[in-house]
Structure formats: structure tokens, C-alpha cells
Structure 1
Amino acid sequence: MTMNSSNERRRKRRSSAIVILILAVFFVGLYIYSKTRISGTALTSHNYMNRPVGSYWVNDNWGGNGGVTCCSKMSGDTAKVVWILSMSKAQEDQGMKIERHEELMPMPKRKAGDDTLHVYFLPGNKIELTWSATTLDKNSFRENTTKSNRE
């Protein structure tokens, strides 16, 4: 009887050790995953031109219609920005046409916590990009910005 209870205790300890090992591997894996993954990026725009931007893309991630899109993967040192200028009814009546523009530019530096890429459309079809920690942060404009090469 003592031999049987000794074996039973050994089996319980072994089972407990296996459960603890499995849980430890799971939590270590979860920790590594959370530290190495690229989190999703929100994409938003601010238009300072006299024409509406109907749609735009940054590295093939769509944005447009004045809203915020989520959750894109943004990485790399360069950003390919493509945008389509729409027009108001009055501009259409004056003979304006829809225009497509494209710019390859450096991706701005991204700090920890930055999850939103702001695209600024400026007069003369100039583009500025900046990261911030919120979709509403217009104060980051010019702080950590890359500018288009258009003169």
C-alpha cells in the first residue's frame, strides 16, 4: 500500500510538472509574440488643398473619404503614396478633371506607441507624413514629418 501511494504521488508530481511546463511555454511564447509583432496601423488624412481627395493609398493600404482606416501593416523605410483628386460639382462645371498623383518618399520614424500614420495633403500636391499615438493628433504635424520632394 505504501508503494502504491508512493507511485501515485510521483505520477501527480510528474503531471503537475508537465502542466506547469506547458503553461510556461505558452506564456513565454505569448510574450515573445507580443514583443515581435507589428501592430496594426490606423491611416488618416488631412486635406489642405482646394480639391477633395477621393481615395489614397500608402504602400497599397487604402484610405479616403475623410475617415480613418484600420488596421494596416506599415513597415519599411519608404512610403509609396498614391492619391486621386476628385472635384466638387462647381469644379466639374468649370471643366476640371479627376487627377491621379503618385509619390515615393521616406517613411517617417515611428516611436513606441505610434499607431496612426497621418497623411497631409498640402497645396501644390505636396505630401507630408507623420506618426502619432492617436488619430486626432494634429499637433504632431511638422514634429516628426517627412515631406514630399515636390517643389
Structure 2
Amino acid sequence: MSVFLGTHQNRLDAKGRVSIPAGFRTALRAQAAAGEALVILRPSHQYPCIEAWPTAAFAALSQPLDRLDMFSDEHDDMAAALYADAYPVDADREGRIILPDTLKEHAALTDSVAFMGLGRTFQIWEPAAAERRRAEARTRSRQLALPAQGRRQGGADA
């Protein structure tokens, strides 16, 4: 599976277009099925940035909704949170996408954006905010310990 690596900065033009980094475009195209949007964009619930999901990964994210009663408040809340502000987006021949105004406002984007790879997904940030987030993540990650392969968090063998 292709992954999104690194942080890349690109200019946002007056029409709201920005070029997806070449490596990210390659990863998106490798994961996209015929007839699907290249990427799904949505506002982050946690940070002032835009989340970018390959279509298949976004579909997997929404699978838990199928376990909820379709007519329940929980289903409506989760569906609204997941889908109401999601935008399927395709790139033009130059690899540019148009960022919807509501998403640009959410992330406080003006003339430059930072694409931050997160493995299976990526985020689009205002560059200074992206640097602050990366610094925060580095600091917090020093205090985390990932469980070793084949071992549970409590230290017992799996």
C-alpha cells in the first residue's frame, strides 16, 4: 500500500487551486478505483487543518456507521460529522485541486499550504500551524511507547 510521507509546501493560487505533491498524487492514484474521486477532503475535528483521505480509506472510516440504527440520533450525528463537510475532489492535468472555501477558512489558508503526510492519509495546513503541530507531535511522541509487535500493551505476550 502506498503511504504519504514528508511535509511539502506549495502555493495556493487566487482561484483556490494548489498542486498536490507528486509523491502524494502517485499514492492517491495507486489507491483510486476507476470512477472514484482522487481524494476526499474534510475539516479535521481535532485541528485547524484539512484531512485528505484516499476514497477507499474514507469508505473504511465510515463502515462503523453500518452497525448503528439508521434512524438513531447516534447515526445521524456521526453521519453528519463524517459526510456533511466532506468533499470528493479530483486533480486537473497539472495535479492541482481546488480547495473549497469552507475548508480554506477552517484551516486559515491564504497563499501557501503545507501537505503533511500521515501514512495512510495526509493533512493540509497553514504552514506555520503545520510546523507548530509537528513540533507538538514530536514532543508528545517522546512520551509514548508503541507496543512491540506480538506483544500487548500490558507487556504480556499476545
User: TM-score interval w.r.t. the shorter chain?
Assistant: under 0.3
Give TM-score scaled by structure 2 length.
Answer: 0.26
Q: Which has the higher contact order (CA 8 A, sep 6+)?
A: 2
Which has a greater percent of helix? 2
Give TM-score scaled by structure 1 length.
Answer: 0.27
Which has a greater percent of strand? 1
